[in-house]
Chain A
């Protein structure tokens, strides 16, 4: 077919007839602001810029869905390359693509299949892109399997929010985030309007804590096949260093997995534990989450519908969180996840941490990690004293960790913190530093004079 015809007005009219019906006609259930017109499709095709985060199970589906809903200016970002175990659901990839960039392959496939689609691939980590990159999009839709990456992205979109002089939110700075996630036959889809509705950080308690086994069980009283694999992974590997001291255990290296499998079997045999299999070994080593095409298709589709609604205003968005389960029948439940008024990411207020005046820095560190409102991984803590930055504790850089380690044991008042002092916390879960104000517990004699 000639390019001329693909671009012809008449052809476009025929080709997009399905979605034109809902965009160019008014209906009794439309959003009050919705004014049907041909310009909406024109906006979707020629102006609306969408970012898809992740080109895996959800990302492949999202790219196809959005391209068939009229969107053309689609960017997709993913640092991963294609593996054989992706092919049971990531339908834009073939065996010949193994080892190539997911984002690039997905884009190449969809641009070819759907002429006119101008998708652009970014084969890199989301953290490699700056706020200028993220600011260019009208809507971001996210299909990630990592909670940390999701929180980072959420933090990035929240950091783009602008506030007017009267502290009201500048609506033009809001970039909606549509987020999907799946695990086996379960999934969820949600719509986040930054600064206006619950964000990822507001609802951290939705994520179940990762299942871990106590070290003493692994070492002394193994009962389950998983305990045997964990033992080899955590203790035996470091002891025996089968490939030399510098080689870390790699769950993607079949030889490593085979070694762990054999040692775990030996340990299981010794203790009379059954059912250590290769599949189980791999599952424990890589923390594999089961995944299937159908769940990804359904969740991505629900997200794509929400992107379409946001971009066209043709009907009201989901409010605002849908859980989905097709293990028994097909079940969905949509509810309004509540925004935390003091959310560290989206509230435009300084978060307050209540703490005993005689607490140590360790107490603050533990709170940052254990309190579900923060749930940080390796927070680095600094503060400003008399206008100068002071590092209190940073664990991510070895030399600084050694220098600041002693601070953990010290009382917070010894290292210059006071009631009302602000600490600045950096972590992998957030792109920008979080400011937290310390509030000493009531019984303390408040000294505000400092």
Chain B
């Protein structure tokens, strides 16, 4: 049969393969991911589970650093090893099986221990988007995190012991433009309508419309008219209090047409107006968080090395101080509402046009900064995206992992405070730290051979850490005992859980979309409990 179909719009193989995730982070997110390069140190089960969920969505490249030889125990918990892998280098074997998942991903291996790389070739780490490490010794944790902090490479430290899992993200500064908030505040400017909107709103007289058209008035107009009416008897103020807002609602109610028996007619658009009134009446304002960002040192003191985010922040600030009259650029998004196609499209265009106009002004400011600084250009699309999301910009200012090991810091008192609460998840944190310390002192995991004998030794480690953070000893030994029971065991499903989470955090960092954990996440699979701490 002859096909009635026109030329099928070309959808590449890649677009089809990644369709389900492109709906989450878009083509530009995918492009960022494909330019990403992840370094994994130690390809144990946790390490390969992390890489699995980064290789599948198509990261550009992965490099595994691992000098270990594959054991039977490894094969028992790590899916990316085969029986024939025994006795071979773990990086080689795991990368081979991981790359089978996605032929678009490039893979490399390094067979040196991380300490040696840190000593002999510290520049090795400079090229990565994110460095992820599992099962590091206490000393390597300190040395590596310090080095990565100094060279400003994002670092995720991960642990999986028994039913416990942890990851700690170390980033100096991580700006996010597309945070994808669950509930985006609407930006309608009913309190300060721009000329095109004003003209549109003033051209509608809701009293003279016939019933059919009355039922198609967009709720924006209804709310605007109701507020206008309220303002007549309230000195043109903007309704702020709950009572005032209820007055506006009453006015909206009074707008609803009635039938011959004086019974209000059910008009969907008026129902919508009543539901939307609270959010639509929020006055247009510059959020404090954004204001702080725009007036922070990085935005006010640009240099040639300033990243595009700060250049755009600077341009945005000058916009707000001048053309924006203290307000952010219009978002330009109209929520769906019951109305005619004509009304909706017209209104939508009014908002979109104004938003494009304002973004254009910001773009020109960006251009002039760029030419002054003589730095790399920033595309108009990037500036538009930035303006569109300027209400929800977010900056994570991280802290160094080394701080957790220092005495008398705010981090130490933060830990102590949570222990006093008492917060069992912070107890888990202490035990994971103590297990690291135990390992560096005794060259084995606590309880690796048999649990009971190591309890007192592990307790010594716990006491040391607790005294470092000026916290009193634990009243009971039960968590210490439990850690010795684990004996350093890596339970696959616990590693797989942390693996999924860490993979996603790495993707968030690479794509600069969605907010990552700030900065420590702890999981107890035994009690199905999780917690986030900000060290």
Contact of A290 among B20, B78, B163, B515 (CB under 8 A): B20
Q: Is A49 engaged at the interface, CB distance under 8 Å to the other chain?
A: no
Asked whether, in the complex, the Cβ of B493 is within 8 Å of the Cβ of A304, the reply is: yes
> Is A46 interfacial (CB-CB < 8 Å)?
no
- Which of B140-148, B294-302, B518-526 lies at the binding interface? B518-526
Q: How large is the interface on B (under 10, 10 to 19, 20 to 34, 35 or more residues)?
A: 35 or more
A331 to B517 Cα, complex, angstroms: 9
Q: A1-B84, A22-B486, A65-B493 are contacts. A294–B53 as well, Cβ < 8 Å? A: yes
Complex CA gap A357/B76 in Å reads 65
Cross-chain pairs A/B with CB under 8 angstroms, 14 sampled = A17-B73, A21-B487, A27-B485, A29-B478, A185-B504, A217-B338, A223-B339, A224-B336, A243-B1, A255-B8, A294-B501, A294-B507, A301-B493, A318-B528
Distance (whole angstroms) from the CB of B474 to the closest CB of chain A: 12
CA distance A335 to B19 in the complex (A): 33
**A328 and B52: CB pair below 8 A?**
no
Q: Which of B7, B180, B489, B528 has the most CB of A within 10 A?
A: B528
A6 near B83 (CB under 8 angstroms)? yes
A28 contacts B by Cβ under 8 Å: yes
| Residue pair A85, B20 in contact (C-beta under 8 Å) | yes
- Contact flag A85-B75 (CB < 8 Å), given A271-B345, A298-B497, A300-B496: no
Q: B23 to A283, Cβ gap below 8 A? A: yes
- For A372-397 the 0/1 string (1 means CB < 8 A from B) is 00000000000000000000000000
A22 touching B489 in the complex, CB below 8 Å, given contacts A221-B340, A222-B341, A328-B514: yes
Nearest-neighbour CB distance to chain B for A262, whole angstroms, equals: 5
Contact string, A265-306, partner B, CB cutoff 8 A, digits 1/0? 000000111000011001100001111111111111110110
Q: What is the number of contacts between chain A and chain B, taking CB atoms within 8 Å?
A: 265
Contacts of B341 in A (CB 8 A): 221-223, 271-273
Task: Tell whether, in the assembled complex, residue B100 and residue A328 are in contact, meaning their CB atoms are under 8 Å apart.
Answer: no
Q: Determine, out of B10-18, B188-196, B409-417, the stretch whose residues face the partner at the interface.
A: B10-18
Quick check: A27 and B73 within 8 Å, CB to CB? Answer: no
Question: Smallest distance from the beta carbon of B153 to chain A beta carbons, Å?
Answer: 21
Cβ–Cβ contact A297 & B182, under 8 A: no
Instruction: List residues of chain B with CB within 8 A of the CB of A223.
Output: 336-337, 339, 341, 344-345
Q: Is A258 an interface residue (CB 8 A)?
A: yes
Residue contact A91 to B529, C-beta cutoff 8 Å: no
Q: State which residues 328-374 of B face A: CB under 8 Å.
A: 336-341, 344-345, 349
Are A18 and B491 interface neighbours, CB within 8 A?
Answer: yes
Known: A113-B82, A259-B6. A329 touches B516 (CB 8 A): yes
Chain B positions within 8 Å of A331 at CB level: 530, 532
- Interface residue? A422 (CB, 8 A): no
- Inside 8 A of A243's CB, which chain B residues have their CB? 1, 4
In the bound assembly, the distance between CA atoms of A274 and B386 in angstroms comes to 21
Would you call A69 an interface residue if the criterion is a C-beta within 8 Å of the partner chain's C-beta atoms?
yes
Q: Which of A68, A273, A293, A318 contacts B492 (CB 8 A)?
A: A68
Interface assignment of A64: CB less than 8 Å from any CB of chain B:
yes
Q: Which residue of A lies closest to B448 (CB)?
A: A21
Tell me the complex Cα distance, A28–B5, Å.
68
Bound CA span A185–B179, Å: 13
As a 0/1 sequence over residues 384 to 414 of chain B, the CB contacts with chain A under 8 angstroms (1 = contact) are 0000000000000000000000000000000
B503 and A297 contact, CB distance less than 8 A: yes
Measured between C-beta atoms, what is the minimum distance from B260 to chain A in Å? 25
Say yes or no for B101: interface residue by CB 8 A criterion: yes
B481 engages A27 (CB within 8 Å): yes
Interface residues in A193-246 (C-beta closer than 8 Å to B): 217, 221-224, 242-244
- A297 B52 Cβ-Cβ under 8 A: yes
Within the complex, which residue of A6, A28, A328, A330 is in contact with B478, where a contact is CB–CB below 8 Å? A28
Q: From B22, B503, B514, B527, give the contact of A293 (CB < 8 A).
A: B503
What separation, in Å, do the CA atoms of A292 and B58 have in the docked complex? 11
Instruction: Let me know if A329 and B518 touch, CB within 8 A.
Output: yes
- Bound-state Cα–Cα, A322 to B497, Å: 13
Contact indicator A17/B489 (Cβ below 8 Å): yes
Q: CB within 8 Å of A: which residues of B? A: 1, 3-9, 11, 13, 16-24, 45, 49, 52-53, 56-58, 71-73, 75-79, 82-84, 86, 100-102, 162-163, 179-182, 216, 336-341, 344-345, 349, 447, 451, 478-479, 481-482, 485-487, 489-497, 499-501, 503-505, 507, 514-518, 521, 525-530, 532
- The stretch from A8-16, A363-371, A398-406 touching chain B is A8-16
Per a CB cutoff under 8 Å, which of B73, B182, B447 touches A15?
Answer: B73
Instruction: Identify A25's interface contact among B56, B180, B487, B492, CB under 8 A.
Output: B487
Interface string of A302-333 (1 = CB under 8 A from B): 10110010000001001000100011111110
Chain B residues closer than 8 Å to A21, beta-carbon distance: 162, 447, 485-487, 489
B18 and A28: CB pair below 8 A?
A: no
Of A19, A254, A302, which contacts B489 at CB under 8 A?
A19
* B20/A292 in contact, CB under 8 A: yes
CA–CA, A278 and B503, complex, Å: 29
**A330 x B517 contact (CB < 8 A):** yes
A308 and B17 CA atoms in complex are apart in Å by 33
Interface presence of A88 (CB below 8 A): yes
> What's the least CB distance linking B190 to chain A, in Å?
20
Instruction: Rank and list the top 8 A-B pairs by shortest CB-CB distance, nearest first.
Output: A297-B500, A298-B500, A301-B496, A301-B497, A294-B504, A28-B478, A15-B76, A242-B4
Q: Given A84-B17, A88-B58, A273-B341, decide whether A25 and B6 contact each other with a Cβ distance below 8 A.
A: no
* Docked-complex contact A27 and B489, CB < 8 angstroms: no
Q: Which of B19, B24, B481 contacts A85 (CB 8 A)?
A: B19
Question: Would you call A87 an interface residue if the criterion is a C-beta within 8 Å of the partner chain's C-beta atoms?
Answer: yes
Q: Tell me, yes or no, whether A89 is within 8 Å of chain B by CB.
A: yes
Beta-carbon contact of B501 and A88 below 8 Å: no
Q: Are B83 and A293 in contact (CB under 8 A)?
A: no
A88 in contact with B336 (CB, 8 Å): no
B337: A residues at CB distance < 8 A: 223
Question: With contacts A223-B339, A223-B345 known, is A288 near B478, CB below 8 A?
Answer: no
**Residue among A244, A258, A292, A299 with most chain B CB within 10 A:** A292
A94 within 8 A of B: yes
When distances are taken between beta carbons in the complex, the residues of chain B under 8 Å from A349 are none
A11 to B5, CA, bound (A): 61
Asked whether any CB of chain B lies closer than 8 Å to the CB of A184, the reply is: yes
Q: Is B16 in contact with A85, judged by CB distance below 8 angstroms?
A: yes
Which chain A residue has the least Cβ–Cβ distance from B45? A68
